Amino acid sequence: MRAQAVLLRAAALLLLVAFVARPQLFAFAFEPLTANNASAIYDQGSLLALTLSHLRTVFLATLASSVLAVTLGVFVTRPFGQEFLPLSRSLVNIGQTFPPVAVLAIAVPLVGFGEKPTFIALFLYGLLPIFENTLTGLADVEPQTLEAAKGMGMNARQRLIQVELPLALPVILAGIRLSVIISLGTATIGSTVAAKGLGEVIIAGLQSNNVAFILQGGLVVALLAVLIHGGLAAVERAVARRLGRPAGAATSQPS
């Protein structure tokens, strides 16, 4: 079964690369969805360039979310930071309390149109799952393990870097995976504020009533989500096996 899954993912990756690189080869599949001699393939820009721009925004936003959420998660699990846990949880929840569209509306007057407001929306939206999984991963480290590390002469910083974070890593990676998948879909709204991405294809289809464009944008995003989800899940399993721990389960709601 695992070999079949690998083959299916490889086939999906080849299909995705072929489509974004040479979309005209697939025109025959989308022609039945067009009307009035409309173009069957999105022709207002390069699908490859839009896909790369989409991934770039998601990657940068997830990287920024990961750095802040993990740092904050570590801080509030230390004795000197525990009193800030309720406040920190409330702050990271704000990102998912406000709809991304509302964040864009607030951000555009401050930073202008383009990638920046989209980055801000994705950054805020991605904090919660990474923060919560960081808390869960650190809380799951057994006290006996920490006592053994302490008995070996490790100070608090060494225990954090050499013991706690490595053991919590599978669960933290699960939170990052969830954040990436959320951002991949949410990033499509960035095109409403002139950010380059696959949302541009979908919006063009809506404006021209061209179902083929809408389907193309949606399919590329869906394939990216499936492939990235599978890839990150494989990384989690590999890390968990190396540590002798179960793979982390993503947590999206505060405990």
Task: Work out the angle at residue 138's Cα, subtended by the Cα atoms of residues 100 and 82, and round it to the nearest 5 degrees.
Answer: 80
The Cα–Cα gap between 221 and 19 comes to 12
Token pair, residue 253, equals: 């709601």
Distance, CA of 121 to chain centre: 12
- Interatomic CA distance for residues 168 and 239, integer angstroms: 10
Q: Tell the burial category of 42 from Cβ atoms under 10 Å away from its Cβ (0-12, 13-18, 19+).
A: buried
CB contact at 8 A, 202 and 213: yes
- For the stretch 44-79, pLDDT in tens is 889 999 999 999 999 999 999 999 999 999 999 998
Chain segment 99-156, per-residue pLDDT in tens: 888 888 888 888 888 889 999 999 999 999 999 999 999 998 888 988 898 888 889 8
Handedness of CA 130, 136, 139, 142 (dihedral sign): negative
What pLDDT does 2 receive? 73
- Looking at the domain assignment, is residue 163 inside a domain? yes
Evaluate whether residue 102 is within a structural domain: yes
Q: Note whether 248 and 236 are within 8 A (CB).
A: yes
| Domain extent for 135 | 39-243
Q: Return the ∠ at Cα 28 (arms to 23 and 33), rounded to 5°.
A: 100
> Is the pTM for the entire model greater than 0.85?
yes
Give the per-residue pLDDT at 246.
Answer: 62
End-to-end CA distance of the chain: 35
Copy the structure tokens of residue 122.
Answer: 């994705």
* Domain contains 23: no
CATH number of the domain bearing residue 68: 1.10.3720.10
Q: Based on the structure, what is the number of domains in the chain?
A: 1
pLDDT higher than threshold 50 for residue 41:
yes
DSSP 221-245: HHHHHHHHHHHHHHHHHHHHHHHT-
Whether residue 180 lies inside any domain: the answer is yes
**In angstroms, rounded to a whole number, what is the distance separating the alpha carbons of residues 244 and 149?**
17
Is residue 160 a part of any domain in this protein? yes
| Res 253: pLDDT | 44
Residue 234 lies in a domain: yes
In this predicted structure, what is the pLDDT of residue 75? 96
In a domain, 250, yes or no: no
Q: Residue 94: what pLDDT?
A: 84
Q: Cα 84 vs. chain centroid, distance in angstroms?
A: 26
pLDDT of residue 245: 66
